[in-house]
Amino acid sequence: MAYPTNPIYKLMKNGIDVTEPDGVETMEGHIRKVIPFKSDNTDYQVYLAWVAAGNSPEAAD
Amino acid sequence: MASEIRVNKIINRSGLSTVTFTSDGAIVSGIVSATVYTGSGANLTDLPAGNLSGTLPAISAANLTNVPAANITGTLPAIDGSNLTGVGASFGNSSVNTSGIITATAFVSDTPLSHRNKVINGAMTISQRDTSFASTLSEAQYTVDRFHHSIRGTNDSYYYQVSDSPDGFNKSMKVKCNSTYTPSGSDNAGFATTLEGQDLQDLAFGTSSAKSITISFYAKSASQNNGHQYSFQIRSYPSGGATARTVTNSFTVTSSWQRFSFTFAGDTGADIRNDNAAGMQLLWWLDAGPTDIISQITSFTSSASYRAVTGQDHFLNNTSNEFYITGCQLEVGPVATPFEHRSVADELARCQRYYFAMCTDTYEILGTGHQYYSGNIFIPVYFPTTMRSEPTLEALAGGSGAYVYEKLFGNSAQYHHQISQETGKTGHNQSCIIMSGDASRQGQTVRCAAHSFGSDTQRFVAFQAEL
C-alpha cells in the first residue's frame, strides 16, 4: 500500500466484507493516521474541510 | 402608757387628700414622700417607662425580652456562641472566616463540593504522547494531555512537561519561544484546552439561572519576560451552530509563581451545545496581532474572533521567553476554591477518553490476532474507558521492509512496517487492528507486538478522539 503524499489522504476499504471506503489514511511524519468516517471524529472533520476546499483523496486500493 | 387613735379616715385641711384605712392597709389619695422607704417592692406595678431612668444596676438580664435589634449595637464581647441559633439569615451575603474547625450535620452548597474542576489534567500530571514537544507544532496539535497548541499566523513555540511547579504541585507545562515572530493582523499564538458541551450543562447558560464561573491557574515567566501581560479567553459554543460567545481578561506574570483567578457572570444570552462536541474552549494567548487586541470583554458576547486584551505583550519577541502553567481549574460559582487535586489514576482515566496510548515501547503486546483467510490478521482492542468518539488510529510506520511490528505464528516471527484499523467496525469502546498476515495460516491465532522503531520513547500505537 502506497503512502498518501499528494493528495495527502487516501481512501480505505480494508476489513471484512468492505466494498465502499469507510475511512481515510494520512501520514504525519512517521505516524500513520487511520481515520474512520465518523462525524464526531475531529480528524474526519478536518478531512471533510480539506475535501470541501476542493481537494480529492487518492482512491482506495 | 401606750396610746392610740382609732380612725378609719384622715382628711387634710383642704379636704383634697385623704388617708383611708381599710382592714388590710392604708390608701393614700395624694402624694407620698419620705426620707427612706423600706420593705419589699415586689408588688410595685405599672411603673411608667419615663420614670425608669438613671443607671441600671448590675443585675441579671435573664428575663429581658423583645429588645429591638437596632438597640443591640457596639462590639460583641468574647462570649461563647455555642447557643446561637437561627443565625443563617443574618449572615446574608457575608463570608464566614475561621481558623478553627467547622462541623455540621450537613453542608448544603450552591456549588459542588467535589468534582468541581471542569478542566481535565489541570495539574499537567498526564502526558501520554511525550514529555517534550520540541518541534514545530501545527494548529490544535496536542502536547500535555488535553492541552493543545493554537496558532493563526506563526507560533513556533515548544512545549514541555516539567517538574518546576508551585508548592503542592509536581508538574507544570512549560512553553518556550523557539523562534521570534512579530504577529500582524489577526495572528495569535497560545494554547488551549477544550471541554465537551454535555459536561457543562450544569452552568445553565442560556437561562435566567445561568451560573457564574471562575477560572484559576498558577503561572510564571522566565526572567526575560518578567512582567509581561498575557490574555485569557473563554469561547463557549451554543447549540445549533450559533456564533461562539466569548469573554476575556488579562494577567501579568512574573518570574515567581502566582495564582490568577477570574470570575465571569453566567451567560444568559446563549446556551452551550449539549453533546460530545466542543462546548467551551479555554485559551491562553501569549501573543497576538493588533487586530485581535481589544478592550477586555467582561460579559459573554457573540464573537467568532480570537481576542486578546489591550496591553498584550509579545511572547514571540525573544527566544528566552518562557511561560509555565499548572493548577488550571474551571468551576461553577464566584469564588476560586483551592485546586481540586485528583489521583494520577483518576486523571489518566479522564484523559483516556480523548487519547489512549496503547503501546509505548518495544515488544509491547498489541494483542492476540486471528488469521483470516484473506491474508489479514484481525486483532481486537478494548479501550480502558469509553472514548469520546470513534477514534483515529495513530500508529508508527516505517519504510517498506522496516521491522516495526512483529507477529508470531508458533516460533516463526515475521515483521511488518505498518498496521491499520478496521475503520468500519471501530466503536467508542473497541477497535480492531489489522496486520498483514499469511493466508496459509488461516484460522490460526497469532501473537502481535510492537518491535522496534528509532527511539524507545516513540509511542507505537495510540487511539485519539480529541476535541
In angstroms, the separation between the Cα of residue A1 and the nearest Cα of chain B is 9
DSSP, collapsed to helix, strand or coil, labels residue A27 as strand
| Residue A2 pLDDT greater than 50, yes or no | no
**Do the beta carbons of residue B386 and residue B353 sit within 8 Å?**
yes
| Residue B176 pLDDT greater than 80, yes or no | yes
B422 near A CB under 8 A: yes
Q: What percent of chain B has a predicted confidence (pLDDT) above 70?
A: 95
Q: Which long-range contacts (C-beta less than 8 Å, at least 24 apart) are formed by B60-69?
A: none
Do A40 and B434 make contact, defined as CB atoms within 8 angstroms? no
B257: amino acid identity, one letter: W
d(CA B267, CA B211): 8
Mean pLDDT of chain B: 91
A61 near B CB under 8 A: no
The partner residue sitting opposite A23, judged by closest CB among B378, B395, B423, is B423
Higher pLDDT among residues B438 and B309, named by residue: B309
A23 near B CB under 8 A: yes
Q: Residues 6 or more apart from A10 whose CB is under 8 A from it? A: A2, A3, A4, A24, A25, A26, A57, A58, A59, A60
A3 near B CB under 8 A: yes
- What pLDDT score does B104 carry? 86
Once rounded to an integer, what is the mean pLDDT over residues A23-40?
Answer: 94
Please report the ipTM that was assigned to this predicted complex.
0.92
Q: How far is CA B324 from CA B120, B317, B440, in A?
A: 17, 17, 56
Q: What angle do CA B267, B238, B186 make, to 5 degrees?
A: 90
| Residue B83 pLDDT greater than 90, yes or no | no
A50 near B CB under 8 A: no
| Residue B431 pLDDT greater than 60, yes or no | yes
Which residues of chain A have a CB within 8 Å of the CB of B418?
1, 32
Q: Count Cβ atoms below 10 Å from residue B333 Cβ, excluding itself.
A: 16
Mutate to test the interface with B, among A20, A30, A33 (most CBs of B within 10 A): A30
Do A14 and B423 make contact, defined as CB atoms within 8 angstroms? yes
Once rounded to an integer, what is the mean pLDDT over residues B117-145?
Answer: 94
| Residue B459 pLDDT greater than 50, yes or no | yes
Which residues of chain B have a CB within 8 Å of the CB of A1?
418
Which residues of chain B have a CB within 8 Å of the CB of A34?
392-393, 395, 420-421, 423
Do B434 and A12 make contact, defined as CB atoms within 8 angstroms? no
**Do the beta carbons of residue B324 and residue B262 sit within 8 Å?**
no
- What pLDDT score does B145 carry? 98
Tally A–B CB contacts below 8 A. 87
